[in-house]
Structure 1
């Protein structure tokens, strides 16, 4: 299994490669967001995978667009996982990010980051932090 770069070396992350792993994640918990669908599952203790490993997979269907659009969406999803899973992911879990057309070019990356963090919080039943208040914009005269 190839590891993706993680900002936290204490939480090793690997890529899902087997179709069976994707199917197991698809039958577990789901959280739908505008830019992606998050599927997650806690691995059983008897599985032959290191228990402290976080595994993640990425997929985009042809509904998303041509190969260029699908590859761009997967690159953005990989960067999401790299940025968020080292902090919010749990060891012993498998995550699958399914791209949606909004993930390609129309959705801001900062918004995707916030959505991914809140989706993980819902999946793990963590309290979601309230949104920060926005600064009022002054009118120019």
Structure 2
């Protein structure tokens, strides 16, 4: 997961998802993206930082991992990123 702090005063966190072709064909990649979107909807409103862009990079483990574990991993990642400084700031 990557984070980018925006300078605007937006009241929401934005999230993007990327899944490479190494994971599998379009059907497999889309299944993983659907699972990640579901986890995002459940976790980011509570744990995401307003005015921050997040990028999730899909890994093949996400296909077989239980949904509760995906949500817990996402929560831990967001908490870890909120303690550290975002990678860069937009000018």
After TM superposition, the score normalised by the length of structure 2 is 0.86
Q: 2:72 aligns with which of 94, 110, 114?
A: 114
1:43 aligns with 2:6: yes
State how far apart, in whole Å, the 1-side matches of 2:23 and 2:39 are.
Answer: 18
Which consecutive unaligned segments of at least 5 residues does structure 1 have? Answer: 1-37, 127-141
Q: CA deviation at 1:53?
A: 2.4
Q: Which residue of 2 aligns with 1:4?
A: none
Q: Which residue of 1 aligns with 2:13?
A: 54
User: C-alpha deviations, 1:4-32, integer Å up to 9, x for none?
Assistant: xxxxxxxxxxxxxxxxxxxxxxxxxxxxx
Q: Which has the larger radius of gyration?
A: 1
Q: 1:70 aligns with which of 29, 49, 56?
A: 29
Q: Which residue of 2 aligns with 1:124?
A: 82
User: C-alpha deviations, 1:78-121, integer Å up to 9, x for none?
Assistant: 011100001001110001111001111x2111111111101111
Q: CA deviation at 1:75?
A: 0.2
Q: Which residue of 2 aligns with 1:12?
A: none
Question: After TM superposition, where is structure 1 displaced by more than 6 Å over at least 4 residues in a row?
Answer: none
Q: Which residue of 1 aligns with 2:87?
A: none
State how far apart, in whole Å, the 2-side matches of 1:83 and 1:39 are.
Answer: 19
SS at match of 1:63: coil
